[in-house]
Copies of this chain bind each other. A is one copy, B any other.
Amino acid sequence: MDIRCICLGVLTLGDKTGYEIKKHFERAFKHFFVAGFGSIYPALSELTGDGLVTCTDVAQDKRPHKKVYRITPKGRERLMDALLNTPPRHKVRSEFVVLLYFAHLLPPERLAELLDERARDIEESLRTIDHFEQQAHPSPSREMVAGLGRAALKAQLDFIGERRDWLLSEIGDYQRIRTPSRLPAQDKQPEAPSRAD
Protein backbone atom coordinates (compact mmCIF):
# COMPACT_ATOMS: atom_id res chain seq x y z
CA MET A 1 0.00 0.00 0.00
CA ASP A 2 1.47 3.31 -0.99
CA ILE A 3 0.65 6.91 -0.30
CA ARG A 4 -1.71 7.15 -3.24
CA CYS A 5 -4.01 4.68 -1.57
CA ILE A 6 -3.96 6.53 1.71
CA CYS A 7 -4.80 9.78 -0.02
CA LEU A 8 -7.79 8.07 -1.57
CA GLY A 9 -8.82 6.86 1.85
CA VAL A 10 -8.62 10.30 3.40
CA LEU A 11 -10.59 11.76 0.47
CA THR A 12 -13.34 9.32 1.43
CA LEU A 13 -13.91 11.53 4.47
CA GLY A 14 -14.54 14.62 2.34
CA ASP A 15 -12.88 16.70 -0.35
CA LYS A 16 -9.49 18.08 0.58
CA THR A 17 -6.38 19.84 -0.63
CA GLY A 18 -2.96 18.21 -0.46
CA TYR A 19 -2.13 20.42 2.47
CA GLU A 20 -5.25 19.33 4.34
CA ILE A 21 -4.60 15.66 3.61
CA LYS A 22 -1.22 15.95 5.19
CA LYS A 23 -2.61 17.71 8.24
CA HIS A 24 -5.33 15.13 8.53
CA PHE A 25 -3.13 12.15 8.72
CA GLU A 26 -0.58 13.94 10.76
CA ARG A 27 -3.21 14.23 13.42
CA ALA A 28 -4.72 10.81 12.80
CA PHE A 29 -1.66 8.56 12.45
CA LYS A 30 1.46 10.63 12.76
CA HIS A 31 3.02 8.00 15.03
CA PHE A 32 2.06 5.11 12.75
CA PHE A 33 2.68 6.47 9.29
CA VAL A 34 4.70 9.40 8.01
CA ALA A 35 4.53 11.21 4.71
CA GLY A 36 5.77 14.57 3.60
CA PHE A 37 4.61 16.97 0.92
CA GLY A 38 7.29 15.53 -1.31
CA SER A 39 5.30 12.30 -1.54
CA ILE A 40 1.77 13.64 -1.30
CA TYR A 41 1.77 16.19 -4.08
CA PRO A 42 3.20 13.85 -6.71
CA ALA A 43 0.77 11.16 -5.53
CA LEU A 44 -2.18 13.47 -6.10
CA SER A 45 -0.95 14.35 -9.59
CA GLU A 46 -0.75 10.70 -10.48
CA LEU A 47 -4.19 9.99 -9.06
CA THR A 48 -5.59 12.84 -11.14
CA GLY A 49 -3.87 11.52 -14.23
CA ASP A 50 -5.40 8.09 -13.65
CA GLY A 51 -8.88 9.51 -13.15
CA LEU A 52 -9.09 8.28 -9.56
CA VAL A 53 -9.62 11.80 -8.23
CA THR A 54 -10.74 15.07 -9.76
CA CYS A 55 -9.01 18.34 -9.08
CA THR A 56 -10.60 21.79 -8.83
CA ASP A 57 -8.57 24.96 -8.72
CA VAL A 58 -9.86 27.40 -6.15
CA ALA A 59 -8.65 30.97 -5.96
CA GLN A 60 -8.71 32.62 -2.56
CA ASP A 61 -7.95 36.12 -1.51
CA LYS A 62 -5.47 36.68 1.29
CA ARG A 63 -4.42 33.03 0.85
CA PRO A 64 -2.52 31.13 -1.82
CA HIS A 65 -4.71 29.45 -4.42
CA LYS A 66 -5.51 25.84 -3.69
CA LYS A 67 -6.42 22.61 -5.44
CA VAL A 68 -9.31 20.69 -4.00
CA TYR A 69 -9.35 16.97 -4.72
CA ARG A 70 -12.40 14.70 -4.80
CA ILE A 71 -12.44 10.94 -5.14
CA THR A 72 -14.21 9.49 -8.20
CA PRO A 73 -16.20 6.23 -8.38
CA LYS A 74 -13.21 4.69 -10.14
CA GLY A 75 -11.08 5.90 -7.25
CA ARG A 76 -13.41 4.23 -4.77
CA GLU A 77 -13.11 0.97 -6.65
CA ARG A 78 -9.35 1.17 -6.58
CA LEU A 79 -9.40 1.99 -2.89
CA MET A 80 -11.66 -0.96 -2.07
CA ASP A 81 -9.37 -3.20 -4.05
CA ALA A 82 -6.37 -2.02 -2.06
CA LEU A 83 -8.24 -2.23 1.24
CA LEU A 84 -9.25 -5.82 0.57
CA ASN A 85 -5.91 -7.04 -0.69
CA THR A 86 -3.22 -5.18 1.24
CA PRO A 87 -1.53 -7.40 3.78
CA PRO A 88 -1.51 -5.70 7.20
CA ARG A 89 2.20 -4.99 7.52
CA HIS A 90 3.66 -3.13 10.43
CA LYS A 91 7.24 -2.03 10.12
CA VAL A 92 9.31 -0.22 12.65
CA ARG A 93 12.66 1.38 12.02
CA SER A 94 14.00 2.59 15.29
CA GLU A 95 17.41 4.07 15.41
CA PHE A 96 16.69 4.77 19.04
CA VAL A 97 16.48 1.05 19.82
CA VAL A 98 19.64 0.34 17.88
CA LEU A 99 21.43 2.99 19.89
CA LEU A 100 20.03 1.43 23.03
CA TYR A 101 21.30 -1.98 22.00
CA PHE A 102 24.79 -0.53 21.87
CA ALA A 103 24.34 1.32 25.15
CA HIS A 104 27.47 -0.31 26.58
CA LEU A 105 29.56 1.67 24.08
CA LEU A 106 28.00 4.99 25.01
CA PRO A 107 29.01 7.56 27.60
CA PRO A 108 26.33 7.56 30.32
CA GLU A 109 25.40 11.20 29.68
CA ARG A 110 24.69 10.39 26.06
CA LEU A 111 22.59 7.39 27.07
CA ALA A 112 20.59 9.50 29.51
CA GLU A 113 20.06 12.12 26.85
CA LEU A 114 18.78 9.50 24.42
CA LEU A 115 16.32 8.05 26.89
CA ASP A 116 15.04 11.44 27.93
CA GLU A 117 14.66 12.64 24.37
CA ARG A 118 12.72 9.52 23.44
CA ALA A 119 10.49 9.98 26.48
CA ARG A 120 9.75 13.55 25.44
CA ASP A 121 8.91 12.44 21.91
CA ILE A 122 6.50 9.85 23.21
CA GLU A 123 4.84 12.37 25.48
CA GLU A 124 4.35 14.69 22.57
CA SER A 125 2.80 11.92 20.49
CA LEU A 126 0.44 11.12 23.33
CA ARG A 127 -0.62 14.75 23.47
CA THR A 128 -1.25 14.71 19.72
CA ILE A 129 -3.52 11.72 20.10
CA ASP A 130 -5.52 13.25 22.93
CA HIS A 131 -5.84 16.48 21.07
CA PHE A 132 -7.09 14.80 17.89
CA GLU A 133 -9.59 12.70 19.78
CA GLN A 134 -11.11 15.78 21.34
CA GLN A 135 -11.53 17.77 18.18
CA ALA A 136 -12.45 15.14 15.57
CA HIS A 137 -15.90 13.69 15.95
CA PRO A 138 -15.64 10.22 17.32
CA SER A 139 -15.96 7.04 15.28
CA PRO A 140 -15.10 3.47 16.21
CA SER A 141 -12.14 3.34 13.80
CA ARG A 142 -10.70 6.59 15.12
CA GLU A 143 -11.09 5.44 18.68
CA MET A 144 -9.42 2.17 17.86
CA VAL A 145 -6.43 3.78 16.16
CA ALA A 146 -6.09 6.33 18.93
CA GLY A 147 -6.37 3.66 21.59
CA LEU A 148 -3.82 1.43 19.95
CA GLY A 149 -1.36 4.27 19.62
CA ARG A 150 -1.90 5.33 23.20
CA ALA A 151 -1.44 1.79 24.47
CA ALA A 152 1.80 1.21 22.57
CA LEU A 153 3.28 4.58 23.41
CA LYS A 154 2.28 4.58 27.04
CA ALA A 155 3.77 1.12 27.55
CA GLN A 156 7.08 2.34 26.15
CA LEU A 157 7.04 5.52 28.16
CA ASP A 158 6.31 3.65 31.39
CA PHE A 159 9.00 1.13 30.63
CA ILE A 160 11.58 3.83 30.03
CA GLY A 161 10.49 5.58 33.22
CA GLU A 162 10.80 2.41 35.27
CA ARG A 163 14.17 1.30 33.91
CA ARG A 164 15.99 4.50 33.11
CA ASP A 165 18.00 4.72 36.31
CA TRP A 166 18.56 1.00 36.52
CA LEU A 167 20.02 0.91 33.01
CA LEU A 168 22.22 3.90 33.64
CA SER A 169 23.73 2.35 36.75
CA GLU A 170 24.13 -1.09 35.18
CA ILE A 171 25.88 0.39 32.17
CA GLY A 172 28.09 2.41 34.47
CA ASP A 173 29.10 -0.75 36.37
CA TYR A 174 29.73 -2.63 33.15
CA GLN A 175 31.99 0.06 31.79
CA ARG A 176 33.89 0.38 35.06
CA ILE A 177 34.63 -3.35 34.97
CA ARG A 178 35.76 -3.31 31.36
CA THR A 179 37.88 -0.18 31.77
CA PRO A 180 39.34 -0.09 35.27
CA SER A 181 42.21 2.19 34.27
CA ARG A 182 41.97 5.59 32.63
CA LEU A 183 42.25 4.23 29.07
CA PRO A 184 39.20 4.98 26.96
CA ALA A 185 37.37 1.81 25.91
CA GLN A 186 37.62 2.36 22.17
CA ASP A 187 41.40 2.14 22.22
CA LYS A 188 41.30 -1.53 23.03
CA GLN A 189 42.20 -4.14 20.43
CA PRO A 190 39.28 -5.89 18.74
CA GLU A 191 38.28 -8.90 20.81
CA ALA A 192 39.05 -12.40 19.78
CA PRO A 193 36.33 -14.00 17.69
CA SER A 194 33.75 -15.41 20.02
CA ARG A 195 30.93 -17.86 19.57
CA ALA A 196 29.34 -16.49 22.70
CA ASP A 197 26.43 -15.15 20.74
Contacts and interface: CB of A to CB of B under 8 A. Distances in A.
Interface of A: 1, 6, 9, 12-15, 20, 24, 28-29, 31-34, 68, 70-73, 76-77, 79-80, 83-84, 86-107, 110, 114, 117-118, 121, 136-137, 139-142, 144-145, 147-149, 151-152, 154-156, 158-160, 163, 166-167, 170-171, 174, 186, 190-191, 193-197
B32 A92 contact: yes
Copy total for this chain: 2
Contact of A148 (B1, B76, B97, B196): B97
A94 to B, nearest CB: 4
Given A90-B121, A141-B167, A148-B159, 18 more contacts: A9-B101, A12-B105, A14-B193, A14-B195, A14-B197, A29-B101, A32-B92, A70-B190, A72-B190, A73-B186, A89-B94, A90-B97, A91-B93, A97-B145, A102-B141, A136-B197, A147-B159, A152-B155
